[in-house]
Amino acid sequence: MNCPKCGKEMKPGFLQTGNLVAFNKTRHKLSLNPKDKDDVMIAQKAFTGSDFNGWICKECGLVAFDYTNVITHW
Ligand SMILES: [Zn+2]
């Protein structure tokens, strides 16, 4: 996969997260819970965290991952 920002080859890997990960349209100060229809709660696990297949561009710092396919934690 090539980086959509700079066009260089991205390296495959895993985005590994902690308890909560959210992608919100605006920055939420207190809670990561969705407020807008475009907000996405990507991962919400009390104890384990969540992992995703992803790609990283070390040239410009972009990370891409598929948030709909959570890898089951071991
Ligand atoms: Zn890039």
Share of the chain above pLDDT 70, in %: 97
Q: Which residues surround ligand 1, an ion (CB under 5 A)?
A: 3, 5-6, 57, 59-60, 62
At residue 63, the pLDDT reads 97
- Ligand 1: centre distance to CA 30 (Å): 31
Domain limits, the chain? 11-71
Separation of 3 CA from ligand 1 center, angstroms? 5
> CA–CA separation, 48 vs 44, rounded Å?
9
If pLDDT is split at 50, 70 and 90, which confidence band does 74 have? Answer: low
Give the pLDDT band of residue 11 (cuts 50, 70, 90).
very high
Q: Give all strands (DSSP E) within the chain, no chain letters.
A: 11-16, 20-23, 40-44, 51-56, 63-71
CA of 43 to the centre of ligand 1 (A): 25
- Nearest CA to 17 out of 55, 70, 68 is that of 70
CA of 38 to the centre of ligand 1 (A): 25
